[in-house]
Every structure is written in structure tokens, then in C-alpha cells.
Chain A
Amino acid sequence: MTDLAISATGLRKAYGEHLVLDGVDLDIAAGTVFSLLGPNGAGKTTMVKILSTLISADGGDVRVAGHHLTRDAQAVRAAIGVTGQYSAVDGLLTGEENLRLMADLHHLGRSGGRGRARELLEQFDLTEAARKPAATYSGGMRRRLDLAMTLVGDPRIIFLDEPTTGLDPRSRRTMWQIIRGLVADHGVTIFLTTQYLEEADQLADRIAVLNQGSLVAQGSAEELKRLVPGGHVSLRFADPRGFVAAAQALRSTYSDEETLTLHVPSDGGVRSLRALLDWLDSASITVDELTVHTPDLDDVFLALTQEREAAR
């Protein structure tokens, strides 16, 4: 019980007629990275807003850091830090002033606050820009400052709502490193929402897929990948003769006569690929294009969210 950072049962929220969260159950172990995946409008942000005490739920029993979400909201707030989807920095204040503001609100005292601000500016590579208004920062810098502000109070649980949306690949990687460091060095629990499946794959210990207000799958990246059909090799043939010959001889999961394309199940390993190529050679079949497709979270995501679309 004590090693659960967040536990929720039957979490519900509706905006008028529109049901956003339809009885979500969650258990997140302390010191892990939990990632919530879902298409736009699935309710990810609503979930973060509820768990971080910003808005109230319509039903369900939730404990965050061992405290009851509504009865003991201030204790929950003292344990969490939130970096939301929209920049939560004060644009008129400088980077340093933003951090000092957080330090003051955490009652770190004058010198304590100054020290913490300096430390975080350094850690997040913002020392040079410390005295410039945050409004003049680039997107990546603002996100870093945003996260630095979240860390001023040493939260045990950090909510990151799409922390890398709109960032360039380099800034995204920097952000990932920072997040990994937080878990490794400080043992914090991270609740991460993202649209980037690669991000969840890279960072998360456990992933849950939220679709239309319900969790449709939960598990590690590996477990989720096992849920969908495995990898395949996609072959595009030079002529119809080769296509027909291969289609008869090989077990395919997909074939398209128009484009002369076949999908053949494969684990993507070198040995099985060589066997395939040898067979094609011996049968004198010419292949114009060959691509190897290993299952990734995109497949899981599309499969899981498509099922739902179809069921509607």
C-alpha cells in the first residue's frame, strides 16, 4: 500500500453530457515512470488535472502519495509537482525570478531560495538566460524552466503533461535525459502523458492506453507490443509473375495485387531474412523494394484505438 504513488478506482468525470473519464482504475508504484497514451481528446489532460487537484472528479476513490485526493488536497499538493501542457512560467519575470517565486512559495527562505534557484539554473542550462524575461525564451528553454520550477519544492510525484510537444528533436532528447535523471537520482515517480509513442517506449516502466475515457490496455512496452500481430517484411515485386509465385509459396498476412506488395511475417532477424532472400533468388523472383517492419507502440496504439472506433 505504502509503495503506491498513485491509486485510483472508478475515476469518473463528465463535462455536461460528455463523459471524459469512464471509470478509470490505476495503480502506479512509487519510483517508476508511468505513461498515459491516448489520441487527442481521450481524456489524458483531464486525468492529470484531476490527479493534480486542479479540477474535481465526479466520482471515484483516489489516493496520491498516500493522501486522499479531496479530503487532504493540501497534503497531496505538497507532494506533487506539475508541468502542464501549457507553459506555466511567468513571462514578465526573469528565469531566476520565476524560480525565486517558487522558492518563496515553498518557504525556502532568502538564501535557501537563492541557492536552489542557482542550482536549478545550472542543472537546466539556463544560467546565461537567468536575468532575461521568460517571455523571450525559446520553446525548449521555457519547458526547461517550467520543469525546473516544478522541481523547486522537491516533489515526490511529478506530473508531466505532454512535456515535449512542440519541441525539436534535440530539445526532446535533452528533456528525456532530464526525466531519466530525476527517476535515477531522486527516485521520484513520474506520471507522463504523451502522444509520442517513442517517448513512452523510451521512458516508461508501465504504459496505459486511454481511449474514449477508458483504459484499453496496460503493461510494459514489451507486453503491449505482444498484444498486436508481430513484425513483417514488406516485399514489392518487379512484375506480376514474381508476385503470383511468391504469393503462392509464402505465407503472407497481406497482399495487394495493384502494387504487387506482400507482407510476410518475420521476426526481423538476419537469419530469417537471409533465408527469405535465398529463396527469392533460387526462384528467380525480382524484388524492387524490401522493408523490415518490427512491431512498435504505434501498431499497438493504432490497433487498440481502432478496435474502439470499429466497436462504436
Chain B
Amino acid sequence: MNALSDSATMLRRNLRHMLRYPTLTLMIIGMPIVFLLLFVYVFGGTLGAGLGQAGGRADYLAYVTPGIILMTVASAATATTVTVATDMTEGIVARFRTMAISRASVPTGHVLGSMIQTLLGVAVVTGIAVLLGFRSTTGPVQWLAALGILALFVLGLTWLSAALGLVSPTVEIASNIPMPLMLLPLFGSGFVPTASMPGPLRWFAEHQPFTPLIETLRSLLLGTPLGNHATASICWSIGIALVGYLWARKLYSRDPAR
């Protein structure tokens, strides 16, 4: 029981931090929004035509929105790593370690807080896509399924980001480690179909975790074929969550180095 209430206390602390320091939350959505505008208005005409069947800017907006949503998730993951690494340098975390509270509550509070932050960011970015003209062709059941699968992925990625934050010896390093994560939607099916990529890159794009997630969202929002993307997404998410959680737990329970 204590583990639950302690984690809830830590969550409240992290939510307060987000309210007091909203810049970080704004930074999370800044990059995906810039990419959305850039790709729809600058490249969208040409890229849309490349999708085939007389596609245009509007078709490209529909195509790229799931990719942008995943980019938001990646961007938020970067922020989580920095937040966790920063927090570990604070004296108050040393205080928490000397208190009779559930050990897992500190990282758990971070993960839950970051999940809320991420999903809020996703909501804002999706809202902007809708304002630009994005329309889902499916219904509430599919939307709910999309949200569930996305949330599971966010859970996994956030635990992994928290672990990366814990393993970083400095905040500077923490802000660099997850950079490649931001690129994964680009090296996947986020912005162009993987079929248009050359051999090895295409193989990578089709076998990295962001692609099945993007394809699952695409299917659940736009009615494209689902295939085994949902299964792949769930497997990836659970795998990443497990690795991230166990790693973070191990890192948090070792002697603090600073």
C-alpha cells in the first residue's frame, strides 16, 4: 500500500514541477510542431505526390500525422531523461533515499508524471494536426485502441528514458544520450513509406519499434491495413517497458555516485 501512496506523492511532486516549469513541456511539443509545419507546407506537396494515386498536401498531412505523434513521444522521452538526471543531482533525492519510503516510488513518480506530460503533448500536437485539416476516418473504438497502444508504448519508452537519466553521470550527457530516439520516426515509416528506402536502411526501418507503432496508429486513425503491426507494437512496448523498468530499478538501488 505504501508503495502506491508514496508513488502518488512523488507523482504530485513531479506534476507540480511541470506546472512551475512549463518551458520543458513547451519544448517537448516545439520540435514536432516545427516538423509538422515543415513537412506539410514545405515538402508536403511533393511528398504527397510521391505517395501515389494523385496524392497532395492533404494526403501527406494524413500520412505524416502518426509519424509526428511518435516524434512527440520521442521528444518527450528526451525530456524525461534530462528531468530524471537533473533530479538525481538534487539533495532532496538523497533525502528520499534515507527515508523509510518505497524505493521504487521516486522513479515511478517520474515515469507517471512524464507519461501524463507526454500524452498531453500528443493531445496538443494532434489537435494542431486537426486544425491543419487532419481528419480521422475511423471511429471512437479505434481511437480508444490507438490511445491504449500508444500509452503502452509511452510507458515502455518512459521507463527506458528514466533508466537513461539514471545512468547518465551528468545532466549534459543525459541531454545527448536519447538524441537518436528523435531520429527513429524519420528512419522509419513516419515521413515516407519504407518501401521507398534503399536496402539496408529499409530493413532497419521495417524492424525498428517506431514503424509498427506508426503503422498501427495509421491503421486505427485512417483505416489502412493493420497486418501484424499491432501485435508487433505491443510486443515491443512490453519488451522495452520490462528492460527499462528492471534497468531503472537496478540503477536507482545502487549507491549514488554524486
Contacts and interface: CB of A to CB of B under 8 A. Distances in A.
B91 A87 contact: yes
Interface of B: 2, 5-6, 9, 12-13, 16-17, 20-21, 90-92, 94-101, 255-256
A251 interface: no
B16 A93 contact: yes
Interface stretch (A77-85, A231-239, A276-284, A300-308): A77-85
A20 B56 CA distance: 69
B100 to A, nearest CB: 4
A89 B96 CA distance: 11
Contact of A89 (B20, B91, B100, B256): B91
A104 B92 CA distance: 15
B interface SS class: helix
B100 A90 contact: no
A195 interface: no
Interface string A62-102: 00000000000011011010101011111111000100010
B16 A53 contact: no
Contacts of A78: 100
A133 interface: yes
A interface SS class: loop
11 contacts: A54-B256, A55-B255, A74-B100, A82-B94, A82-B98, A86-B94, A88-B90, A90-B90, A90-B92, A92-B20, A149-B95
Taking residues whose C-beta sits less than 8 angstroms from the other chain, chain A's interface range is 20 to 34
Nearest to A77: B100
Contacts of B6: 105
A219 interface: no
- Point out which of B6, B21, B92 has the most chain A C-beta atoms below 10 A from its C-beta: B92
Contacts of A56: 255
B250 to A, nearest CB: 15
Interface of A: 52-56, 74-75, 77-78, 80, 82, 84, 86-93, 97, 101, 104-105, 107, 133, 149-150, 153
Given A56-B255, A92-B21, A105 B9 contact: yes
Nearest to A80: B98
Contacts of A87: 91
B99 A88 contact: no
- Point out which of B2, B6, B17, B98 has the most chain A C-beta atoms below 10 A from its C-beta: B98
B10 to A, nearest CB: 9
A56 B254 CA distance: 9
Contact of A82 (B17, B20, B95, B255): B95
B127 to A, nearest CB: 28
A141 to B, nearest CB: 15
Given A92-B21, A105-B6, A53 B98 contact: yes
Contacts of A133: 20
Contacts of A153: 99
Contacts of A105: 6, 9, 96, 99, 101
Nearest to B91: A88
